């Protein structure tokens, strides 16, 4: 296998309600929150674009029209299609809902509210090298409480998905970027709310699932404090 970014669809999960962020961002979906006068989602897409990705499927829900209006005909060199949910379907349900719009195998999935600076082409090579069914980008964190931990064994094979817990503990966390073989879609039920993190991933430990550890931290905009932190990061020219 020789997976090139230009051949991989990027499915971006941007349909969440963003309830924790509403005190500072209430007029738009969370991924459209402005940072340096640009929607956060645009920053994400530009990052993938620089790495060579050319086709994007945006899984929208809450205030979907604002996402569609912003990205319609915005890039002449990119294909951006919208997969809208009529009701919240969760992270896995959104991917299943977009099934007929996903053309590549493997395909990439990214959370629309988080950012991690990583060599995405190297991540693709890692997936190919391990002939993985699922590859997850991981980041080191001194406090895994809000994310849960992922434990890996030999050659980066994932051995355990650990739920969120009380008490500060360092470890590897899910950075919100994945590479899936397309057959994963057969394991996600249609037309019902389903979570990747809580329902799908724990069932895949027996499959060829690997964690790719990046060197950069995860930035997310899920709360007002994290949104301010991300704004500061990008204002500094990151």
SS3 content of the chain, % helix, strand, coil (to 5): 35, 25, 40
- How does DSSP classify residue 176? E
Question: Whole-angstrom Cα distance, residue 19 to residue 62?
Answer: 11
What pLDDT does residue 215 have? 82
170 has a pLDDT exceeding 90 = no
Q: Which residue has the higher pLDDT, 109 or 160?
A: 109
Question: Whole-angstrom Cα distance, residue 178 to residue 111?
Answer: 9
- State whether residue 206 is helix, strand or coil: coil
Q: What percent of the chain has pLDDT over 70?
A: 96
What pLDDT does residue 24 have? 82
- State whether residue 67 is helix, strand or coil: helix
What pLDDT does residue 146 have? 76
Question: Whole-angstrom Cα distance, residue 216 to residue 138?
Answer: 9
Half-sphere exposure of 136 (CA within 13 A, CB side): 29
User: Tell me: the pLDDT tens digits for 176-204?
Assistant: 999 999 999 999 999 899 999 989 999 99
Neighbour count for residue 130 (Cβ, 10 Å): 16
Highest mean pLDDT of the ranges 4-13, 66-75, 197-206: 4-13
CATH 3.40.50.10330 fits 5-136+174-193+222-235, yes or no: no
Q: What is the pTM of this model?
A: 0.94
* Mutual angle of helices 40-50 and 64-71, in 10-degree steps: 50
Q: What is the largest CA-CA distance in the chain?
A: 48
Question: Whole-angstrom Cα distance, residue 89 to residue 194?
Answer: 6
The predicted model gives 129-137 an average pLDDT of 96
pLDDT band for position 149 (cuts 50, 70, 90): confident
Question: Whole-angstrom Cα distance, residue 117 to residue 187?
Answer: 30
The predicted model gives 198-223 an average pLDDT of 91
Can you give the residue ranges of every domain in the chain?
Answer: 5-136+174-193+222-235
Q: In which residue are the tokens 């629309």 written?
A: 112
Q: Which tokens in the block code for residue 134?
A: 């699922």
């Amino acid at each position: 296998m020789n997976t090139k970014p230009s051949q991989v669809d990027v499915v971006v999960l941007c349909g969440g309600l963003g309830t924790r962020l509403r005190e500072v961002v209430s007029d738009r979906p969370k991924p459209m929150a402005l940072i340096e006068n640009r929607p956060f989602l645009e920053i994400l897409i530009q990052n993938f674009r620089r790495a060579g990705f050319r086709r994007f499927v945006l899984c929208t829900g809450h205030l979907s029209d604002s996402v569609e209006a912003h990205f319609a005909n915005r890039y002449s060199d990119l294909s951006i299609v919208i997969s809208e949910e009529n009701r919240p379907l969760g992270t896995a349900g959104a991917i299943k809902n977009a099934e007929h719009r996903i053309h590549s195998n493997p395909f990439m999935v990214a959370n629309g509210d988080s950012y991690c600076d990583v060599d995405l082409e190297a991540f693709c090579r890692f997936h190919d090298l391990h002939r993985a069914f699922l590859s997850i980008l991981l980041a080191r964190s001194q406090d895994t409480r809000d994310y849960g931990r992922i434990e890996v064994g030999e050659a980066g094979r994932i051995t355990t998905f650990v739920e969120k817990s009380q008490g500060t503990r360092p470890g590897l966390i899910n950075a919100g970027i994945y590479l899936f073989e397309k057959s994963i879609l057969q394991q996600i039920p249609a037309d019902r709310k389903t979570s990747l993190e809580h329902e799908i991933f724990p069932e895949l430990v027996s499959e060829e699932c690997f964690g790719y550890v990046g060197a950069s931290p995860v930035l997310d905009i899920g709360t007002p404090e994290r949104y301010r932190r991300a704004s500061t990061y990008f204002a500094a020219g990151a």
